[in-house]
Amino acid sequence: MGERLGCCVPWCKRTTPRTEFTEWICGKHWPLIDKRYRRAYGRAARRWRRYRVGGERAARLWRRIKRQAIERAAGIG
């Protein structure tokens, strides 16, 4: 059987069968992130997928998004 990937928010039990990436934020926690960060990450990730440039920016945005999702799920942010 294929392995499943869990949400990167601690104690979240949601998983996805897609494993082409190493980290994932579930649909329950994704809306907790500021809309401007989600949009900026989408643009950077799309640019990376199309042209293979700007990967550092996308990685930096992902770290910020992940931190914000974890903090808001814990009720900190």
- Overall domain count for the chain: 1
Q: Containing domain of residue 24, as a range? A: 5-74
Dihedral of CA atoms 56, 60, 63, 67 in degrees, nearest 10, equals 180
| Contact (Cβ atoms closer than 8 angstroms) between residue 25 and residue 5 | no
Q: Is the pLDDT of residue 32 over 80?
A: yes
Q: What is the pLDDT of residues 36-59, one digit of tens each?
A: 999 999 999 899 889 998 888 889
Residue 75 has which token pair?
Answer: 């009720």
Residue 8 has which token pair?
Answer: 């990167």
Q: Whole-model pTM?
A: 0.85
- CB atoms under 10 Å from CB of 29, counted, come to 21
User: What is the predicted pLDDT for the residue at 1?
Assistant: 54
3-state SS class at 56: helix
